[in-house]
Amino acid sequence: MDLEKTAAAVRDLLTALDVDEGEHSEDTPERVARAWSAALGGYEVDPARHLARTFPAPPDAGLVIVSGIRVRSTCAHHMLPIVGTATVAYRPAEGARIVGLSKLARVLGDYAARLQVQERLGYQVAATVQTELEPIGAACIITAEHGCMTMRGVQQSDTRTTTHALTGRWREDLSHPDVVAVLNNHRGDHHGR
């Protein structure tokens, strides 16, 4: 990302909007450039890299669910915040190796650091887990508040959107006990916040 060009664009935006807050906005273009560089840093990395290192597991590792993952992303349509929680889960195939639990959250974080729509974000995470680990099934469930609904347009401040992305056998059978467990875990975690 070119920070100088980004700062110049922000300066032009403030000028076009006729905004000048004196000393308060004097360094704003450079600050905004650095903030956007961090917010969109996911374009410069491959999220799958987090799943490359695996560890031995018992013959049946069981269902792996990581919930309460904070989601912070940016809407691709309005460049406003998407903020919420996610659950990422998978069931390793029998005898398969497993990944460190934090790696599931890191995959989500890398994809979230791009302009996003929630449906695509969940799909990208679940598909990456499926491709890299080849589990029986993988899921990414996200419940989030969208600035494009709360700050503009319809201005519904209490709205939340929940999306489910499922892969493998889980996609074929929504009544599968693993899917039910993941959904219940996410609901419980989300409502407990």
Beta bridge partners of 37: none
Average pLDDT of the residues in 46-62: 96
Same domain, yes or no: 14 and 65: no
Same domain, yes or no: 35 and 55: no
> Phi then psi for 74, rounded to 5 degrees?
-130, 130
Residue-averaged pLDDT of the chain: 92
Same domain, yes or no: 91 and 125: yes
d(CA 137, CA 91): 6
**DSSP 8-state assignment for residue 98:** B
The number of distinct structural domains making up the chain is 2
Q: What range does the domain containing 31 cover?
A: 3-39
Q: At what angle do helices 3-16 and 28-39 cross, to 10 degrees?
A: 120
Same domain, yes or no: 19 and 74: no
Residue matched to tokens 């695509």: 120
Same domain, yes or no: 23 and 94: no
Q: What would the pLDDT profile of 112-171 be if each residue is shown by its tens digit?
A: 999 999 999 999 999 999 999 999 999 999 999 988 877 777 767 778 889 999 999 999
Residue matched to tokens 């560890």: 55
Beta bridge partners of 98: 55
Q: What pTM value is reported for the model?
A: 0.90
